Amino acid sequence: MSSPKRVPEFPATACLLSSIGGALITVFAVYELTLGIFDPSVVESVLPGSQPIVIALGVMGLVVGPLIMGLSVQLRRRPASARRLGWEVAVLGLVSFFGGGGLYVGLVLSVVGGLLAVRWQPTVVARPLSYSAPVPPPPLGSALRPCPSCGATNVAAARYCATCGASLS
């Protein structure tokens, strides 16, 4: 007999991909800022006059990356809001395109994670209505009487209703 498969009650894959994407965007933003601030000669050798642009894009990445990671935590905490949070993650991932998007891997992971959150549906598990043992039928020839609370038929000798548990006296 195999054990039942455990299904997470939140969009786990979306949370993981969004978190990794946000982390990559943040790390690449730190790299851009470090390069733009502490080694501007490298930036200027590629494109003269681009140091302020590289610094601005690094700052944008430092804002967008942690926001995506925060939203992925919210996906874990509030799965009922997965659709809205997923759209926010996907849009922020697309915004990170302008700053390099964590070498574009962070961008792709964030957008895919956000779209997975948008498509996520909670798993509905059907549970039995009652775990109690079935009530045996009354013996033949015994008198029956209705429950004053729910109207169910009970054996005349019973002190409590077999259906609702109300006192029959």
The answer to whether 122 touches 9, Cβ cutoff 8 Å, is: yes
Does 43 reside within a domain? yes
Among 40-54, 126-140, 149-163, which is the least confidently predicted range?
A: 126-140
Q: How many domains does the chain have?
A: 2
Domain range for 17: 12-119
Which tokens in the block code for residue 125?
């598990």
For residue 23, is it within any domain?
yes
Q: Are residues 86 and 158 in the same domain?
A: no
Residues 63 and 21 in one domain: yes
- Whether residue 93 is predicted with pLDDT greater than 90 in this model: the reply is yes
Give a yes or no: residue 127 inside a domain: no
Residues 6+ apart with CB under 8 A from 148: 166, 168
Residue-level pLDDT at 127: 62
Query: Cβ distance 117 to 82 under 8 Å?
Result: yes
Question: Which residues neighbour 22 within 8 Å (Cβ) at sequence distance 6 or greater?
Answer: 64, 65, 66, 67, 68, 69, 70, 71, 72, 106, 110
Assess whether pLDDT exceeds 90 at residue 42. Answer: no
* Segment among 28-32, 48-52, 57-61 with least mean pLDDT: 48-52
The pLDDT value given to residue 1: 47
Using the predicted structure, report yes or no on whether residue 123 has a pLDDT greater than 80.
no
Mean pLDDT of 29-53: 88
Residue 104 has pLDDT above 50, yes or no: yes
The token duo for 14 is 């979306």
**Quick check: is 151 in a domain?**
yes
DSSP state of 98: G
Half-sphere exposure of 129 (CA within 13 A, CB side): 1
